[in-house]
Amino acid sequence: METRSFKKGLPKLFMHLRSQPIEFVLFLCASFSVVILLLMLLFVVMEGSLAFTRLGTQLILGQMWKTNSDLYGGFPLIYGSLMVVSGALLISIPLGICTSIFIAEILPFQLRDPIKSVIELLASIPSVIYGFIGVTFLAPLIASIFGLQSGATAFTASLILAIMVLPTIVGVSGETISAVPIEYKEAALALGASKWQTIRNVILPLSKSGMLASVMLGFGRAIGETVAVLMVAGNVAMVPTPPWNYLAPVYPVTAVIAMQMGEAAVGSLEYSALFGLGLILFIITFAVNTIADVIVRRRPVGRSVQL
């Protein structure tokens, strides 16, 4: 038998693979996604490079996005994205964390799994369905409540996104709550702590980092969402006045890319600017997901008692 230590790195791995045809095939399959990721990144960088060299920081800081006049200032779009996503998180964080605490600590045992599955089901609804519920139901409702001409606003998009990221937040923070060792809960309860005191003083402090991670994963999901957002955000490439006016339409980055890519001539500045925006989006999502990953991995909850 051959020893399977790959500690000596890639050269050793390749030597090993050469003698094992089946494992070589598996290796090819496994490499596929990594290679695709790198190729995609390369492609986006190449296509976007024209915009970065010609527009420089204008692509991020420029105030005007007008394709007819060849103005590609991405600021209102990036602002729109961040506005919609922060609005969504403002709603879904309290809602999601309260839900996960309720499910993990208060709901009777028999009901936990069914309720969890129902919430997970939210994640399996195609985003276009969220979009048209937003268009046909939510937008008119918001228009009539606030007396607006159109209900397609940043607020509408935030509401839709809040529901879409709820399963992520509930799922991940629920997991961290369940990961709190039962010994700590018992210790608190045996001292006469009530359920709520145990949650607040023992469970929440121990699940903080996992909850933070759940929020970041939710952020990553929300900022990348396209179809539902472009259907309800109103799509006006301007920073609202005043800038915190959630009842104004915005044009998030993903919506711009989806709407305008089809019309942009390949190789044109517009085409490249859209890729540039895509790259910015990619970097934001990548950074946030990486941070969330790091937090989840070093969470101190399961630390065992040293004897």
- d(CA 240, CA 236) in angstroms, rounded, equals 9
3-state secondary structure of 94: helix
* Closest CB to other proteins among residues 182, 265: 182
- Minimum CB–partner distance for residue 205 and other proteins (Å): 8
β-partners of residue 234 are 250
- Report the relative pairing of strands 65-66 and 71-72 from DSSP bridges: antiparallel
x/- mask, other proteins, residues 31-70, rule CB under 8 A, reads ----------------------------------------
Contact indicator for 217, 172 with CB cutoff of 8 Å: yes
| Contact (Cβ atoms closer than 8 angstroms) between residue 173 and residue 210 | yes
Residues of this chain, 101-140, that bind other proteins according to CB under 8 A: 109
Residues within window 284-303 making contact with other proteins, judged by CB under 8 A: 300, 303
Residue 248 C-beta: closest distance to other proteins, Å: 46
3-state secondary structure of 72: strand
Binding flag, residue 263, other proteins (CB under 8 A): no
Length of the chain (residues):
307
> By rule CB under 8 A, what string of x and - marks binding of each residue 192-221 to other proteins?
xxx--x---xx---x---------------
Residues contacting other proteins: total by CB under 8 A: 22
20: left (phi over 0), alpha (psi -120 to 50) or beta: beta
Footprint on residues 175-194 left by other proteins (CB under 8 A): 181, 183-184, 186-194
Instruction: Please give the Cα distance from 296 to 119 (Å, whole number).
Output: 22
Copy the structure tokens of residue 240.
């609202």
Q: How far is the CB of 185 from other proteins (least distance, A)?
A: 8
Binding site for other proteins (CB under 8 A): 109, 181, 183-184, 186-194, 197, 201-202, 206, 300, 303, 305-307
